[in-house]
């Protein structure tokens, strides 16, 4: 199956109890879903407001809770979306929409009727290994891969993905006002920096604001 950026981020964030352990991580997952909606031309985000501008593709049904929430309101504050989907009434349906297809694909343990989503060790390793290969220059640093790495940083998963001390090169980025050193092959840098900068400018502030206020 084709596993999306948001779904990969969920697998990386879930712990062995099937829980997204921090509000920072959950906020990053919601923001990643919003990024996907915009990147696919489905939604528009301007002046802190979200609007639907296109049909949700059939292969994006895992984002249906987000899509419907925005569509039913014509225009809605992104911060309202964060409030509802991070720890509010919409959080459970959103997680289920992301995780149930992953369970069918063998990335999440258990039966379809279960509401606890424990990722397989193989799934975590697969998504982490590909991200590391992109950082090493052994796989393309696509926009999707750069987005996954950026949102993983925002989710507090830096130590899981970025501790690449054996690499010879490094990249300094600023996240939430802090300088962070990343070890990354030179050929991966430009592609990563472009996507990182765009997400930091347009979507990271929603994560920061949510975490600061809750």
For the ranges 5-9, 18-22, 186-190, the maximum mean pLDDT occurs at 5-9
Between 109 and 136, residue with greater pLDDT? 109
Distances 200 to 52, 100, 177, 194 between C-alpha atoms, Å: 22, 29, 11, 10
The confidence score (pLDDT) of residue 33 equals 98
The pTM of the full predicted model, rounded to 2 decimals, is 0.92
Q: List, in order, residues 6 or more apart from 63 with CB less than 8 Å away.
A: 6, 33, 36, 37, 42, 56, 97
Burial degree of 7 (CB within 10 A; 0-12, 13-18, 19+): buried
Looking at every residue in the chain, the average pLDDT score rounds to 89
pLDDT tens for 29-48 read 999 999 999 999 999 999 99
Q: Is the pLDDT of residue 94 over 60?
A: yes
Q: Quick check: 176 pLDDT over 70?
A: no
pLDDT at 112: 72
Instruction: Please answer whether residues 36 and 91 qualify as being in contact, where contact means their C-beta atoms are separated by less than 8 angstroms.
Output: no
Q: Confidence band (pLDDT; 50, 70, 90) for 174?
A: low
């Amino acid at each position: 199956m084709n596993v999306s950026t948001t779904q990969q981020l969920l697998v990386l964030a879930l712990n062995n109890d099937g829980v997204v352990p921090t509000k920072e991580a959950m906020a990053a997952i919601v923001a990643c879903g919003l990024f996907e909606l915009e990147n696919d031309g489905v939604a528009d985000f301007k002046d802190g407001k979200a609007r639907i501008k296109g049909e949700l593709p059939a292969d994006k049904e895992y984002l249906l809770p987000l899509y419907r929430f925005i569509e039913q309101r014509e225009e809605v504050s992104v911060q309202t979306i964060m409030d509802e989907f991070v720890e509010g009434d919409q959080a459970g349906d959103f997680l289920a929409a992301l995780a149930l297809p992953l369970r069918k694909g063998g990335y999440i343990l258990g039966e379809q009727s279960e509401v606890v989503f424990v990722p397989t060790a193989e799934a975590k390793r697969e998504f982490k290994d590909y991200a590391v290969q992109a950082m090493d220059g052994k796989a393309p640093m696509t926009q999707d891969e750069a987005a996954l790495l950026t949102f993983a940083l925002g989710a507090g998963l830096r130590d899981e993905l970025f501790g690449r001390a054996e690499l010879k090169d490094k990249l300094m980025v600023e996240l939430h006002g802090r300088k962070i050193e990343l070890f990354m092959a030179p050929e991966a840098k430009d592609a990563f920096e472009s996507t990182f900068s765009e997400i930091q400018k347009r979507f990271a502030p929603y994560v920061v604001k949510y975490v600061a206020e809750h």
